[in-house]
Structure 1
């Protein structure tokens, strides 16, 4: 047994390495191309969508997986709908060369053995990597979620011909109703058929079974969120009933509620990071690629305050985030800036990475982490507004875990300006063990140890469910400029300068 000869420290290092960079990390990008899957072999909506996405200059193959009479009928129907498509068989000599030229393939037949053979072919795997389109219908689509193919990741797919299936931990169940058709493009899932698709997340020790009904009028679903949610349901309950106390043992956090950033807060950030010896890292990760140059302009602002270096790291993909180049920058960092945008982008980029461990080490070494808007919420242990489908959902299955720089809290921003008081109440009602923190625009909460200092033009609002005695009473305490709050004891130390309550009437 070789493993018994490995020293204990080496073994621990190996385990940590596997847990960070092993093959279990979910790729948030989803699949490379598009799948169009219909519950029946013949589905007009599915075929029309297939042709539309393939485009006018498409090179379409109809790939015959078996020679049954039913498959031949289906093949003829497809030829009628796609007269320019080429028909090939799996064993044809020219199959692989045709596949290299094609950008869309519709699979005909229901032979699972031949489907398995197809998915094992390097030529087909290469085809899938080219952002291509694959269509299929009938019971064959169940094989897209089989462990042997795993084309549709972490999925059980059920058609009307199959009564039931064992719902495994960590898997998402897709029940395709009669007349239904599903489009999976990268990570986006939508229904285009006349029937309904029921997506099921399995019951766990802490969460009830959840069903999502997809049809033409629904907003769709997100593959990555569903996969994260399925994994969460086989993991220990989150958030835990008893949470770690909200304090920063070493270093400091600066948490800004969006809007204009007070100059004194920027100055404080550079000072805490080491002044003229500061090494600042800017993460514009939460915005779309087109907005990265504008978002990175904050780097120029930081440079005016005289730090030693300011480095922008815009990459989101794992080969960038955990590259030697990025990790070396983070190892030198004494201050990190998380910009605004959509907080789920931070989760996608940094979950289960070596980079995230180095970010926590910045605090351990006495450095500082600052963020605004999305960059404020992501600092919490519990993440609010994390749904990739839209930021109105306060609690989103699969995107509930922040980066955890401040334990035991949930943080919302643009607070009074967007009347988000009741939104945060809903989170604290669901998870009363959390301390809720709502931060107004142009306002910062500076956390050192267990105490938060408020700076800026607005207020910070603290939600402690344990203090609510009557249903009609205000469920938060507000602290203004210069005020301080004891996060662990959940106690106002100094109310500071309180401006008139900005909470709007319904």
Structure 2
């Protein structure tokens, strides 16, 4: 099973308590990758022959015939670098320049770094990684290199040049040295199983000869002729993962990092004994997608205090660019809501600021849109805005949502993998916002024939109450009572009960109620 289908998530911010992680005091705390991704592309090649498609990828990302390429190396590898320059020149870029020194003072010279100022791509040639770091880290070269990456330029490398781009350089019998950090939290080398076991907050990336990885944003694509290996330490009840990814495979770097952080955390997710499914204050309206009927919208507006109340629609689950007005905003207005405000950002710093979510201080209702639930996590988890979402509930208000906006409300969040919605338990993205504790909520349930998916999830995590919401159907939760309204029915999965007939779930139809705490239909 590939690593991206393993299970266990964790709140990113909470997991960065380094003292609880057991990592070596000398190791730097891994910087979390911005959910928006790296600013510029990276091309990571194995230590030997660079695959032709990797060379072409770098050249294309550098601007093709408009490319201005700088080859960065040290004198011990200059001769081999000259051959590389000839290979780049055969592709007819605008320019190719080679820079080499072992002297940090020279690397700090303004004339020496001039070619980097307008470069579109920099290739870190295969040389000793520690020599590269000794020569260039903390100099104008490193500063210009990171400026290039920040403006969207591509950086690539093989061997030592590839390793230098990671968070740490490690070697047998050698003290770890900080790398350039272009790929935060990753160690790029070979024979990494023991290295990662000793540094569980890091991820190991092993790229053999004639293989490469191209990273754009937060997604890495494996190219070349051979698979790569991703190493992640044991934790959260799971063994160490040393997983191969074949050429053509995609990896989400943020998901991998979140998985590593969760495994290394003192209190990993999910807990063996989650809290009882009780909403202490306020109410929830959780819809299975496929469009909410008038009855559902009217109930939500009523629970929010009526048409004059302020209602916030959080649209961040949708893909950019967002429409000027979401379908949820239109529906709320159509059914009488007069004060509807949209809230959206991809910037976690903005979400953690005082002004961004001011409207939540007076809101009596929050509605989470459809889309992909992991985007809510990326934007708001651990921020002031997330706290203010919950405060609406604590004040006796209502939180609602459909599809992605349904699953984000449960403690366990199914289908959270950024690369697709088929993985029920996506390690790194299993934790929802938890307004409904002790539950895992799936949507589009009967319409998309998802009953078997929940069966498998319950086998993995029997401590949860599984809830499958059909399209056009909702549960309205107050305290521990879930009232089913809308078109059809809801499935409740309780592993403590023996299946009744050929179904391992209990069906509750519109107009009926279910006691979430007692796990039984209310007669």
TM-score computed with the length of structure 1 as normaliser: 0.88
Following superposition, the deviation at residue 254 of structure 1 comes to: 0.3
Paired residues of 1:138 and 1:159 also in contact (CA < 8 A): no
**Equivalent residue for 1:457?**
487
Following superposition, the deviation at residue 109 of structure 1 comes to: 4.6
Paired residues of 1:33 and 1:131 also in contact (CA < 8 A): yes
Residues of 2 paired with 1:456 and 1:450: CA distance?
A: 19
Residues of 1 paired with 2:72 and 2:379: CA distance?
A: 40
Q: 1:334 aligns with which of 351, 364, 373?
A: 364
Residues of 1 paired with 2:31 and 2:195: CA distance?
A: 24
Following superposition, the deviation at residue 336 of structure 1 comes to: 0.6
Q: 1:174 aligns with which of 189, 192, 205?
A: 205
**Equivalent residue for 2:404?**
374
RMSD: 2.4
Residues of 1 paired with 2:51 and 2:303: CA distance?
A: 62
Q: 1:259 aligns with which of 290, 298, 307?
A: 290
Residues of 2 paired with 1:324 and 1:453: CA distance?
A: 36
Q: 1:128 aligns with which of 123, 133, 149?
A: 149
Is residue 2:85 matched to residue 1:78?
yes
Following superposition, the deviation at residue 26 of structure 1 comes to: 4.7
**Equivalent residue for 2:385?**
355
Following superposition, the deviation at residue 202 of structure 1 comes to: 1.0
Is residue 2:49 matched to residue 1:32?
no
Paired residues of 2:408 and 2:432 also in contact (CA < 8 A): yes
**SS in structure 1 at match of 2:521:** strand
Residues of 2 paired with 1:61 and 1:417: CA distance?
A: 53
Paired residues of 2:365 and 2:392 also in contact (CA < 8 A): yes
**Equivalent residue for 1:242?**
273
1:314-325 correspondence runs (5 A)? 314-325=344-355
Residues of 2 paired with 1:229 and 1:305: CA distance?
A: 42
**SS in structure 1 at match of 2:242:** strand
Paired residues of 1:283 and 1:313 also in contact (CA < 8 A): yes
**Equivalent residue for 1:12?**
none
Residues of 2 paired with 1:179 and 1:155: CA distance?
A: 20
Q: 1:44 aligns with which of 25, 43, 51?
A: 51
**Equivalent residue for 2:119?**
102
**Equivalent residue for 1:55?**
63
1:93-492 correspondence runs (5 A)? 93-111=110-128, 112-115=130-133, 117-120=135-138, 121-145=142-166, 146=168, 147-159=178-190, 165-167=195-197, 168-218=199-249, 220-235=250-265, 236-293=267-324, 296-307=326-337, 309-468=339-498, 473-492=502-521
Residues of 2 paired with 1:306 and 1:163: CA distance?
A: 59
Paired residues of 1:64 and 1:109 also in contact (CA < 8 A): no
Residues of 1 paired with 2:98 and 2:30: CA distance?
A: 35
Paired residues of 2:425 and 2:457 also in contact (CA < 8 A): yes
- Evaluate the alpha carbon distance shift between residue 105 and residue 23 of structure 1 in structure 2; reply closer, same or farther with a 3 A threshold: closer
Following superposition, the deviation at residue 196 of structure 1 comes to: 1.6
**SS in structure 2 at match of 1:37:** strand
The count of corresponding residues between Structure 1 and Structure 2 is: 472
Structure 1 portions without partners, runs of 5+:
1-14, 495-506
Following superposition, the deviation at residue 326 of structure 1 comes to: 2.0
Paired residues of 2:48 and 2:209 also in contact (CA < 8 A): no
Moved more, 236-245 or 434-443: 236-245
TM-score computed with the length of structure 2 as normaliser: 0.85
Following superposition, the deviation at residue 200 of structure 1 comes to: 1.7
Residues of 1 paired with 2:490 and 2:348: CA distance?
A: 35
**SS in structure 1 at match of 2:356:** helix
Residues of 1 paired with 2:339 and 2:30: CA distance?
A: 34
Following superposition, the deviation at residue 166 of structure 1 comes to: 4.7
Paired residues of 2:193 and 2:231 also in contact (CA < 8 A): no
**SS in structure 1 at match of 2:234:** coil
Following superposition, the deviation at residue 265 of structure 1 comes to: 1.3
Paired residues of 1:139 and 1:159 also in contact (CA < 8 A): no
Residues of 1 paired with 2:393 and 2:30: CA distance?
A: 28
Following superposition, the deviation at residue 469 of structure 1 comes to: 5.7
Paired residues of 2:51 and 2:211 also in contact (CA < 8 A): no
Paired residues of 1:34 and 1:133 also in contact (CA < 8 A): yes
**SS in structure 2 at match of 1:224:** helix
Paired residues of 1:454 and 1:481 also in contact (CA < 8 A): yes
Structure 2 portions without partners, runs of 5+:
1-12, 18-28, 101-105, 169-177
Moved more, 167-176 or 243-252: 167-176
Residues of 1 paired with 2:307 and 2:329: CA distance?
A: 15
- Evaluate the alpha carbon distance shift between residue 267 and residue 166 of structure 1 in structure 2; reply closer, same or farther with a 3 A threshold: closer
Residues of 1 paired with 2:289 and 2:214: CA distance?
A: 36
Following superposition, the deviation at residue 142 of structure 1 comes to: 1.8
Residues of 1 paired with 2:214 and 2:31: CA distance?
A: 25
- Higher RCO (CA-CA < 8 Å; seq separation 6+): 2
Is residue 2:96 matched to residue 1:89?
no
Following superposition, the deviation at residue 190 of structure 1 comes to: 1.3
Residues of 2 paired with 1:414 and 1:191: CA distance?
A: 33
Paired residues of 1:454 and 1:482 also in contact (CA < 8 A): yes
**SS in structure 1 at match of 2:42:** strand
Paired residues of 2:74 and 2:131 also in contact (CA < 8 A): no
1:448-497 Cα deviation digits (max 9, x unpaired): 00000000111010000010268x74110010111000001101114xxx
Following superposition, the deviation at residue 353 of structure 1 comes to: 0.9
**Equivalent residue for 1:497?**
none
Moved more, 228-237 or 208-217: 208-217
Following superposition, the deviation at residue 114 of structure 1 comes to: 3.3
Residues of 2 paired with 1:254 and 1:99: CA distance?
A: 55
